[in-house]
Chain A
Amino acid sequence: MPLSTIDRTEECPPDCRIQRLKEAVQGARPGVCTERARIWTRYHRLATNRRKPAAIQMAEALREVLRGKSITIYPDELIVGNFSSKRVGGSLYPELHGVPMLEDLLKFPRRKTNPLRISSKEQRQLAALIPFWSRRFLAYRAFRSPARRWRFILHQLQGQDYLINESGGIAHLAPDYATLLRLGADGIAARAKTRRKETPEDSEADLFYEAVQIIAEGLARFGERYARLAQDMAGREPDPDRREELYGIAAVCRQVPRHPARTLQEALQSLFFAQIALNLESLDNSICPGRMDQYLYPFYERDVRNGRLTPDQARTLVAAFSIKMAEIVPVFSERLTRFHGGLFNGQVVTVGGTTADGRDAVNDLTIIFLDVMNTLRMRQPNYHARLHRNTPPHYLARIRDILADGSNSPALYNDDIIVETMCRQGYALEDARDYTAVGCVEPVSQGRSFSSTDAALVNVPLLLERALNEGRRFGARRRSGARTPPVARMTAMADVTSAFQAQLEQQISRLVRDLHAVEAANRRYHPTPLTSMLLEGCLERGICSTAGGARYNFSGVQCVGPADTGDALYAIEQAVFKDHRLSLGALVDQLKANLSDEALRAYLRGLAKFGNDAPEADRWTRWVVETFARVLAQHRNTRGGAYVTGLYSVTAHQAFGSVTGALPQGRRKGAPFASGIAPGNGLDRKGPTALLNSLNRLDFSKTANGVNFNLKFDKQTLRGKAGRMALQSLIKTYFRRGGMQMQVNVFDADELLRAYRHPEAYPNLLVRVSGYSAYFNDLTPKMKEEIIRRQLVACGP
């Protein structure tokens, strides 16, 4: 049985096979896979299919994809299954982001950033799909009135005010893989069948259960296709060792995902099949295996106890799985890459933390996952580690050493504040304790939340621009925001802040109206039965996750540019109302002239900024975050959940910055905003302790959708024992005082400059971008420059 599949690892050094697998995946040029788009379209071209209820359509279309997509088992593999027809590839979802995404169809292979391999035949195949979807993709269907529809689509393409991600599908979940492993696809189908018996025929619930049965069977058969392939390959395999492995793989794939998993290998294999299928169902973004060290531990422990597996063999299996996770890339247009740079799929694996009853949860598998992450250092999955006040020292020390060594992963999460924040939002304590991040940094309860955590990103500094110009953009004649008083009538800070609030309220209302339309369209046109069968609540209630069936239903909206906005407000307060250096009107005239007065700009730049341990400046960033959270919390989504605030920006801070006018703190038109909750670029000058003191002035219980905070060091600073211990103290102190999340980046600027000039010499330089890591070469030149600039001004002596 499965044991034979891993015997080979004992003959050669444990990571020799893993090294070959890693090289094969890292050496593969990412490509576009047309299979999903073609099969999906073929299914929907049939009018008889289009007349079926949406839930059935989705289940059957996905079943057809799983049945018809090409399958491969690559040399050396222990965990099998392929996301796409390319070794590293991405699929297209024409029914979701559809036609706008295909604007790059001809550019994919030649564009500078994230080029994707595609043959001219494949390009023709995709082009042929465009007419069919041109009036059927989700954003088009979301808005009945043509005016609103085109306003929305244009808005999205311009990406000035806000960016709605949900129109490309929701995803962003941590599936209940523990249940899949325990019951198998058949077991879940049986549950649906039982429930269905008590449900009126042809009701929405009845159709939902039917869809679940269809797709559970489709998933089970997907595994069996690999069982047959492995069996065939074994018959032809000349190498007796590999032949045995392939027979073992065939046996594993006959068992899972149809039946319960019995071993660690079966468990990893089962969930990887589900991982592929989920990525093909709605959107290949942030399908997160989550707390793998927790729900896989019983399998590991039993295998080791029974003498079936050594810890080294477990490490090899985990590494084989981890490498498979890097075989997927998103297919984004260049336009979207500005917001989501770096070939980011956001598949999160979280380790550590606590059990449901609050005890520390670190186990042997936790350490194995950390080791694998550190050895591989690949783009995906994104590894995250949970810490809490009783975190064992050996675990913290391991993480600290890995980080000081320059791994840039894992990202760190503070249970103490996150669990409390989640409970305040309505999570049951034991569900909050079972959290994992999804996407970049957004905490959800594993297997229980359908939180559209990346619903939208909002350009907040732009609202200040409008507040200072009666609701108009600088230089515009048309009013695009709320009508607020002219600056000549603003005689105190309160006038400025109330104008800003008015702009914010109007913007959030517009955003929520759009989001409601998109949510309804997802529910109506793109239900997700497979996702739903892997989320607690949906089967019990007979309601799809897109319709609010899951136990928890938040939506996350990101406040982009909080520190830029906060610093701008502080600069107004100081320059206009305290120093009386110039009138507000004169300041706004200067902003419209893009701060051409160098002396004034120098003065504005010299004012205190967020991130330098200056309470008088920090409080304005805090005010922006709290105001945003308060305004947003007045709205609820159509799935019955609250909208919650997140402070991460992926790479939208660049894109939003590029379209926003000059700001009062001395930032010129078009300059990038700060990432996440970081201080303005290059504006933290007092080192990491001062920066953390500023961060700790924020109230993270207001940011339930998570925050992204990068603490950056050059390699020099963290060298030696002194450096490591200092890093540990920074982490511990920041978290003890209520910090929520932290990522540690270590690079030296010379290295980055060399990589910038000679990209070919640095194919695999991994940098943390926002909530995730990306290869430096996958970033746009502008993003590279920003990362270098950040490094040049990095903290530390």
Chain B
Amino acid sequence: MAPRDPQEGLIFDVQRFSLHDGPGIRSTVFFKGCPLRCRWCQNPESQTRTPEMAFYQERCQACFCCEAVCPEQAITRRPEARIDFVRCSACGACAARCDPQAIVTIGQRWPVDRLVAEIEKDRDFFEDSGGGVTFSGGEPMGQHAFLACLLPALKARGLHVALETCGVFTWQQIEPLLPHLDLIYFDLKHMTPDIHRALTGRDNILIQENFRRLASRFAGLRARMPLVPGMNDDEANLRATARFLAVNRHDRIHCLPYHNLGEAKLARLQTALHPLKTDRPTPERLAWVADIFAQEGIHALIYD
């Protein structure tokens, strides 16, 4: 892979009017590429570090304009698929030709100034609501060099900046960014290293170490966890998480109940992920989770 220009980020979406990624009205920027492979991933299109093609069968008009422009002969005529991912180099030629947008490129290179301009569009709403921009993904810290160029530009414009991270980064990577960040939402997916590895592909040693260091140095640190039924919502893990927080002088955690809205995306992509055979936690289950945390002196904020 060619070295990346730090002035460009690989972004797969900018979602305006986000209300649940920090205070106020926010624009959420989704970075492509993630070091983890969580089994419950809601954004499977975010995992690889390169652009990729996705196919929306319901939009396809079967004109096969894509076939004519593909330099790799990677277009198939199977009814449910259009892209032969073995051949595909994700050059994007087919997407550029596809008027109904049945084939789209996931992941575009955004220069700093263009991304700043996109974020600036909603400045009036940020100012009134106390909102700003949130970096999500994928894992934004996977593109820390880009962030190092982008964040000072945003801070210079007085924007409120939040970062959502899985915690996989080195201290050298995050330290220079801290003065430009207002909030970090830090995921604690599981407390046991082996289970963490089984669920996400990596253990949690570095993650916990990073949390510890941030907790003592960065006031805007917020702990978060996804609540995935049968994976990390057992009593032992909840209590272990609560104690870890208490040790690090944190008294609250933001809990995001699992939902399966992301599964519809799987068919469109080349991915090793499989649908989880699980549903969103019941309200009773969520109340129970909040209660376990409360017993440990931790306030659980459970998102809708």
- A residues lining the B interface (CB < 8 Å): 598-600, 602-603, 606, 613, 686-690, 692-693, 716-717, 719-720, 722-723, 725-726, 728-730, 732-733, 736-737, 795-797
Interface segment, one of B71-79, B119-127, B145-153, B239-247: B119-127
B125 contacts A602, C-beta separation under 8 Å: no
Can you list 5 contacts pairing A with B, beta carbon distance less than 8 Å?
A: A689-B16, A730-B125, A733-B124, A797-B19, A797-B20
Known A-B contacts: A689-B122, A729-B129. Give 12 more (CB < 8 A): A598-B100, A599-B63, A602-B99, A602-B101, A687-B15, A689-B125, A716-B304, A725-B129, A729-B25, A729-B131, A733-B124, A736-B128
Among B17, B24, B63, B129, the residue within 8 A (CB) of A598 is: B63
Among B16, B24, B125, the residue within 8 A (CB) of A686 is: B16
Which residues of chain A are near B101, meaning CB under 8 Å? 602, 606
Query: Does B108 lie at the interface of the complex (its beta carbon under 8 Å from any beta carbon of A)?
Result: no
- Mark B14-31 against chain A: 1 for CB-CB distance below 8 A, else 0: 011111100011000000
Q: How far is the CA of A722 from the CA of B20 in the complex (A)?
A: 8
Q: How far is the CA of A603 from the CA of B101 in the complex (A)?
A: 9
Which residues of chain B are near A732, meaning CB under 8 Å? 128
Query: Does B61 lie at the interface of the complex (its beta carbon under 8 Å from any beta carbon of A)?
Result: yes
Query: Does B65 lie at the interface of the complex (its beta carbon under 8 Å from any beta carbon of A)?
Result: yes
Which residues of chain A are near B24, meaning CB under 8 Å? 725-726, 729
Q: Contacts A603-B99, A729-B125 known; A689 to B61 CB distance under 8 Å?
A: no
The 9 closest A-B pairs by CB, nearest first: A602-B99, A729-B129, A687-B17, A602-B100, A603-B99, A729-B128, A689-B122, A722-B19, A687-B16
Which residues of chain A are near B124, meaning CB under 8 Å? 733, 736-737
Which residues of chain B are near A613, meaning CB under 8 Å? 121
Q: How far is the CA of A600 from the CA of B24 in the complex (A)?
A: 41
Which residues of chain A are near B128, meaning CB under 8 Å? 729, 732-733, 736
Which residues of chain B are near A726, meaning CB under 8 Å? 17, 19, 24-25, 129
A733 contacts B125, C-beta separation under 8 Å: yes
B270–chain A nearest beta-carbon distance, Å: 25
A719 contacts B304, C-beta separation under 8 Å: yes
Q: How far is the CA of A18 from the CA of B46 in the complex (A)?
A: 56
A689 contacts B100, C-beta separation under 8 Å: no
- Mark B291-304 against chain A: 1 for CB-CB distance below 8 A, else 0: 00000000000001
A745–chain B nearest beta-carbon distance, Å: 16
Which residues of chain B are near A729, meaning CB under 8 Å? 24-25, 125, 128-129, 131
Q: Which residue of A lies closest to B124 (CB)?
A: A733
Q: Which residue of B lies closest to A598 (CB)?
A: B61
Which residues of chain A are near B100, meaning CB under 8 Å? 598-599, 602, 606
B28–chain A nearest beta-carbon distance, Å: 9
Which residues of chain B are near A720, meaning CB under 8 Å? 304
Q: Which of B15, B19, B24 has the most CB of A within 10 A?
A: B19
Among A716, A728, A795, the residue within 8 A (CB) of B17 is: A795
B65–chain A nearest beta-carbon distance, Å: 7
A596–chain B nearest beta-carbon distance, Å: 12
Which residues of chain A are near B25, meaning CB under 8 Å? 689, 726, 729-730
Contact residues of A: prevailing secondary structure = helix
A602 contacts B17, C-beta separation under 8 Å: no
- Mark B59-101 against chain A: 1 for CB-CB distance below 8 A, else 0: 0010101000000000000000000000000000000000111
- Mark B128-139 against chain A: 1 for CB-CB distance below 8 A, else 0: 110100000000
Q: Which residue of A lies closest to B18 (CB)?
A: A797
Q: How far is the CA of A463 from the CA of B304 in the complex (A)?
A: 48
Which residues of chain A are near B304, meaning CB under 8 Å? 716, 719-720
A218–chain B nearest beta-carbon distance, Å: 53
B88–chain A nearest beta-carbon distance, Å: 22
A797 contacts B61, C-beta separation under 8 Å: no
List which B278-301 residues lie within 8 A (CB) of chain A. none
Which residues of chain A are near B63, meaning CB under 8 Å? 598-599
B160–chain A nearest beta-carbon distance, Å: 14
List which B203-247 residues lie within 8 A (CB) of chain A. none
B7–chain A nearest beta-carbon distance, Å: 25
A488–chain B nearest beta-carbon distance, Å: 26
Q: Which of B16, B17, B63, B65 has the most CB of A within 10 A?
A: B17
Which residues of chain A are near B129, meaning CB under 8 Å? 725-726, 728-729
Q: How far is the CA of A581 from the CA of B18 in the complex (A)?
A: 36
Q: How far is the CA of A726 from the CA of B130 in the complex (A)?
A: 10
Which residues of chain A are near B18, meaning CB under 8 Å? 797
Which residues of chain A are near B121, meaning CB under 8 Å? 613, 689-690, 693
Which residues of chain B are near A795, meaning CB under 8 Å? 17
Which residues of chain B are near A733, meaning CB under 8 Å? 124-125, 128
B99 contacts A797, C-beta separation under 8 Å: no
Q: How far is the CA of A686 from the CA of B18 in the complex (A)?
A: 11
Which residues of chain A are near B19, meaning CB under 8 Å? 717, 722-723, 726, 797
Q: How far is the CA of A15 from the CA of B20 in the complex (A)?
A: 38
Which residues of chain B are near A606, meaning CB under 8 Å? 99-101
B107–chain A nearest beta-carbon distance, Å: 19
Which residues of chain A are near B61, meaning CB under 8 Å? 598-599, 602
Q: How far is the CA of A598 from the CA of B61 in the complex (A)?
A: 8
Which residues of chain B are near A690, meaning CB under 8 Å? 16-17, 121-122
Which residues of chain A are near B125, meaning CB under 8 Å? 689, 692, 729-730, 733
Q: Which residue of B lies closest to A601 (CB)?
A: B99
Q: Which of A603, A687, A690, A726 has the most CB of B within 10 A?
A: A726
Q: Which residue of A lies closest to B22 (CB)?
A: A722
A689 contacts B17, C-beta separation under 8 Å: yes
Q: How far is the CA of A304 from the CA of B121 in the complex (A)?
A: 50
A797 contacts B122, C-beta separation under 8 Å: no
Q: How far is the CA of A240 from the CA of B155 in the complex (A)?
A: 74
Q: Which of A719, A737, A795, A797 has the most CB of B within 10 A?
A: A797
Which residues of chain A are near B15, meaning CB under 8 Å? 687, 797
List which B105-125 residues lie within 8 A (CB) of chain A. 121-122, 124-125
Q: How far is the CA of A722 from the CA of B130 in the complex (A)?
A: 11
A9–chain B nearest beta-carbon distance, Å: 39
Q: How far is the CA of A688 from the CA of B24 in the complex (A)?
A: 14
Q: How far is the CA of A599 from the CA of B60 in the complex (A)?
A: 10
Which residues of chain A are near B65, meaning CB under 8 Å? 599
A648–chain B nearest beta-carbon distance, Å: 25
B6–chain A nearest beta-carbon distance, Å: 28
Which residues of chain B are near A730, meaning CB under 8 Å? 25, 125
Q: Which residue of A lies closest to B118 (CB)?
A: A613
B125–chain A nearest beta-carbon distance, Å: 5
List which B18-63 residues lie within 8 A (CB) of chain A. 18-20, 24-25, 61, 63
Q: Which of A599, A603, A690, A737 has the most CB of B within 10 A?
A: A599
A206–chain B nearest beta-carbon distance, Å: 59
Q: How far is the CA of A746 from the CA of B128 in the complex (A)?
A: 22
B162–chain A nearest beta-carbon distance, Å: 14
Q: Which residue of B lies closest to A607 (CB)?
A: B99
B177–chain A nearest beta-carbon distance, Å: 26
B276–chain A nearest beta-carbon distance, Å: 21
Q: Which of A598, A600, A689 has the most CB of B within 10 A?
A: A689
A475–chain B nearest beta-carbon distance, Å: 26
Q: How far is the CA of A606 from the CA of B95 in the complex (A)?
A: 13
Q: How far is the CA of A730 from the CA of B19 in the complex (A)?
A: 12
Q: Which residue of A lies closest to B99 (CB)?
A: A602
Which residues of chain A are near B16, meaning CB under 8 Å? 686-687, 689-690
Q: How far is the CA of A600 from the CA of B100 in the complex (A)?
A: 9
Q: How far is the CA of A690 from the CA of B122 in the complex (A)?
A: 8
Q: How far is the CA of A603 from the CA of B65 in the complex (A)?
A: 13
Q: Which residue of A lies closest to B20 (CB)?
A: A722
A726–chain B nearest beta-carbon distance, Å: 5
Which residues of chain B are near A603, meaning CB under 8 Å? 99
B192–chain A nearest beta-carbon distance, Å: 33
A50–chain B nearest beta-carbon distance, Å: 62
B159–chain A nearest beta-carbon distance, Å: 14
B242–chain A nearest beta-carbon distance, Å: 24
Q: Which residue of B lies closest to A796 (CB)?
A: B17
Which residues of chain B are near A692, meaning CB under 8 Å? 125
B201–chain A nearest beta-carbon distance, Å: 28
